[in-house]
Amino acid sequence: MKDTLKKILAKGGPFIGLILVIGLFSIPAETREFFLTYNNFKIIFTQTVIVAIGALGMTLIIVSGGIDLSVGSTIALTSVVGALLIQHGWGPAPVLLVMIASGGLIGLLNGSAIAGLRMTPFIITLGTLGVARGTAKWMADNQTVNYDTSPINGWMTTADPFSHALPAGVWVAIVLAILTALLLRNTVFGRHIFALGSNEATARLCGIPTTRLKITIYALAGCFFGLAGLFQLSRLRQGDPTVAVGLELDIIAAVIIGGASLNGGVGTVLGSMIGALIMSVLRNGSQQMGWPTYFQEIIIGLVIIVAVFLDRLRQGKAAA
Partner 1 sequence: MSAVRLRLTGIQKSFGATRALKSVSLDIAPGEVHALIGENGAGKSTLMKILSGAHEADAGTMELSDIPYLPENPHDARLKGVAMIYQELNLALHLSAQENILLGAESTKLGWVDRRASRERARAALAQLGHADLDLDRRAGEFSIAEQQVIEIARALLIQPQVLIMDEPTSSLTQADTEKLFATIGRLRSSGVSVIYISHFLEECRRIADRYTVLKDGETVGSGKMKDATLDHIVTLMTGREVKDLYPRTAHAPGQVVLEVKTGASAPRLKRATLQVRAGEIFGLAGLIGAGRTDLLRTIFGLDALDAGEVCILDATAHSSRPRDRWAQGVGFLSENRKEEGLMLNQSIADNLTLTKMNAYGRFGWINGGKQRATAQRWVGELRVKCLNAGQTIGQLSGGNQQKVALARLLEHPARIFLLDEPTRGIDVGSKAQIYQLVSELAAAGKAVVVVSSYLPELLGLCDTVGVMCRGELAAVRPRTEWDEASIMRVATGSA
Question: Where does this chain bind partner 1 (CB under 8 A)?
Answer: 186-189, 191-192, 194-195, 198-199, 201-209, 265-266, 319
Least Å distance, CB 196 to partner 1, is 9
Give the shortest CB-180-to-partner 1 separation in angstroms: 14
CB of 201 to partner 1, least distance (A): 4
Look at residues 142, 129, 156, 134 and name the one whose alpha carbon lies nearest to residue 236: 156
Q: Which is nearer to partner 1, 42 or 192 (CB)?
A: 192
Q: Which is nearer to partner 1, 65 or 169 (CB)?
A: 65
Q: Nearest distance from residue 313's CB to partner 1, in Å?
A: 16
State the minimum distance, in angstroms, from the CB of residue 266 to partner 1: 6
How far apart CA 74 and CA 79 sit, in angstroms, is 8
Contact 257, 58 (CB under 8 A): no
Please state the separation of Cα 1 from the chain's center in Å. Answer: 36
- Which C-beta is closer to partner 1: that of 6 or that of 191? 191
Q: Quick one: 192 or 235, whose CB is closer to partner 1?
A: 192
Contacts of residues 296-303 at CB distance under 8 Å and 24 or more positions apart, as own/partner, are 300/253, 303/17, 303/257, 303/278, 303/279
* Closest alpha carbon to 247 in 147, 132, 111: 132
User: Is the Cβ–Cβ distance between 243 and 236 less than 8 Å?
Assistant: yes
Q: What are phi and psi of 239, to 5 degrees?
A: -90, 120
Closer residue to partner 1 (CB): 132 or 213: 213
